[in-house]
Structure 1
Amino acid sequence: MISSADDNAMAPLKVLVLGATGPTGRRIVSQALARGHQVTALVRSPGKAGDLSGARVVVGDARDEKALREAVSGQDVVVSALGTPASLFREVTLLSTATRALVNAMKAEQVFRLVCITGIGAGDSAGHGGFVFDRVIFPLLLRKVYADKNRQEAIVRNSGLDWILVRPAVLNDKSGRGAIRALTDLGGFNGGAISREDVAAFVLDQMQADTWLHRSPLITW
C-alpha cells in the first residue's frame, strides 16, 4: 500500500497536460495547480476549457506535431490523459497518432519526462479486469480502443524518454481514498476500481519520482 500524498512536497514544475478537459485530466490540472505547479493545457475545443482556471490554455490538436512543440517548449514534464470514445466498428488511431507526434515533439524540445495514462486491459494487464469487463465490456465496446492503447504503449516504451505508463483499474468518480495499490505482478488479480481523484494524485507523484520509471504499474484500491 502506498500513499498518494507521500511526495506532495516536490519542487514546482512546469507541466503540460494533454486530455485536460476529460474527467481525469481536469482532476490532474486542479491537483497540479493546488500543488503549486505551473500547468499548460493543450485543448482542441477552447469552449470546454472554461473551468481550467489557473492553467495556461493552448488551443491545438494533440495529433499536430507543430502545436505540440509549441505547447511542450519550456516544460519540465508532460502528462498524457488522452482518451477516446468506445468504437464498435471504426478503427481507433487517435491515441497512437497523438503519442507518436508527442514523442517527436518532446525530443525536439528536449523534454524527457512523460507520464502516460492507458488503462487496465492494456498490454499484459489484459484479462485482469474482472468477468464483466473482460467478457462483456472489453470485447463488445473497447476492443478497438485497446488495440490503439497497445500501439500507444509500444510507442512510449520505444521512445527513449523517461516514461511511466499508468494503468488505472476501472475508473469511478468517488472521493479519493488517499492510498492505493500499484501492481506489476498481476498473478491472482482480477477486477478492481479506483477513483479519478486518486489516479490524478498518483500520476502527479510520478512527475519526479523514479520508483516506476520505465514500468507500467496497474493502480487500484
Structure 2
Amino acid sequence: MKIVVLGATGNIGSHVVKEALSQGHEVVAYVRNPDAVQRQTGLTVVRGPLDDRAAMAKAFAGGDAVISAIGVALRAKKPIDLMQRTLPVITAAVQDAGVERFVLVSAFGVGDTAAKASFLGRLVYKTVVAAIFKDKALSEQNLPVTGLNWTIVNPVNLKEAPAVPAATVKPLDQVGRVPGLPTLPFANVARALVEIAADRGLAGQRVLVTTEKGWKPQKHAAA
C-alpha cells in the first residue's frame, strides 16, 4: 500500500511512519517542517500546510490511504479549533485525490464515547482535555456526509514505551465499557492504524484501540 501520513512528526504519526515502513508499505509524510522527519528508504517527505487543499491533494494523489494523526498539545492556546478548521480541508483534498481510505485518529472520551468511560475517565475528559476533545467532536460530526471510505479510531491513553505483545481493536458499538484509565504504547496504536487502513470492512465505523483487558463487551437486551 501507499499510505499518506498527516502529523508524521508527532508522537502517533512518527510511529505510524515507522510501522508502515517496517511492513513494507510506501509512505508519504505531509508535514510543515520536512527537516523534522528522518529520511528512510520507502519514505517521501512533502512540505505543506494543513490549509492548502491543492497541495494536499497533490501529495495524496496515488495513495491507497490517508491516516490523519494531527492533534493539539495540552498546553495549546485557546481557542482550540485546529480540527474544526483543518478536517474539512483535509477530507476535501482526500476526495480531490481520489484516495480510497481515510483514517482519522481521534481519542477515546471524545463525544458520546465518554459515556462508556469510567468515572475517573469522564472526570479527566471533562476537565483536563475538555477543549481539545470538544474540538475533535465538533469536527467529526460532518465526516459521515463526506462520502469518503472513513474510519475514526479512538485510542485510549497513550505513552512512549516498548510495544506490548497485544492490543484490542474493537468497533465501538461492540464495547459496553472501558474500565479505569487503560494506557497503551504509541507503537501498538500505530500498528493498529496501519492494519485499520488496509481493512475496508471498517468503513464508516468508529473503532476503540485499548489494552487486552481495557474493555468490556456491550450487553444486549434479551429478545
Q: Shorter-chain TM-score: which interval?
A: 0.7 to 0.9
Structure of higher RCO (CA pairs closer than 8 Å, 6+ residues apart): 1
- In structure 2, the CA distance between the partners of 1:52 and 1:214, relative to structure 1 (3 Å rule), is farther
Structure 2 match to 1:8: none
Q: Is the 8 Å Cα contact of residues 111 and 134 (structure 2) preserved in structure 1?
A: no
1:76 pairs with 2:73 = no
Structure 1 match to 2:150: 163
Give TM-score scaled by structure 2 length: 0.85
Structure 2 match to 1:212: 202
Cα distance, 1:17 vs. partner? 0.2
Which residue identity is paired with 2:150?
A: W
Query: Unpaired runs of 5+ in structure 1?
Result: 1-12
Query: Unpaired runs of 5+ in structure 2?
Result: 212-223
Structure 2 match to 1:63: 51
Q: RMSD between aligned alpha carbons?
A: 1.9
Structure 1 match to 2:81: 93
Q: Superposition pairs for residues 119-158 of structure 1, below 5 Å?
A: 119-135=107-123, 137-158=124-145
**Whole-Å separation in 2 of the counterparts to 1:107 and 1:142:** 31
Cα distance, 1:29 vs. partner? 0.3
Residue-pair matches, total? 207
* Secondary structure class of the residue paired with 2:178: coil
Of 99-108 and 207-216, the range deviating more from structure 2: 207-216
Give TM-score scaled by structure 1 length: 0.86
1:47 pairs with 2:45 = no
Deviations 1:92-115 (A, max 9, x none): 221122211111111112113101
* Secondary structure class of the residue paired with 1:165: strand
Structure 1 match to 2:218: none
Of residues 139, 161, 174, the one that matches 2:161 is: 174
Of residues 86, 92, 98, the one that matches 1:110 is: 98
Q: Is the 8 Å Cα contact of residues 119 and 169 (structure 1) preserved in structure 2?
A: yes
1:186 pairs with 2:186 = no
1:203 pairs with 2:193 = yes
Identity %: 27
Deviations 1:23-72 (A, max 9, x none): 111110011111111111011122322x2423211111122212211211
Q: Is the 8 Å Cα contact of residues 16 and 79 (structure 1) preserved in structure 2?
A: yes
Q: Is the 8 Å Cα contact of residues 96 and 155 (structure 1) preserved in structure 2?
A: no
Task: Give runs of ≥4 in structure 1 deviating > 3 Å.
Answer: 127-133
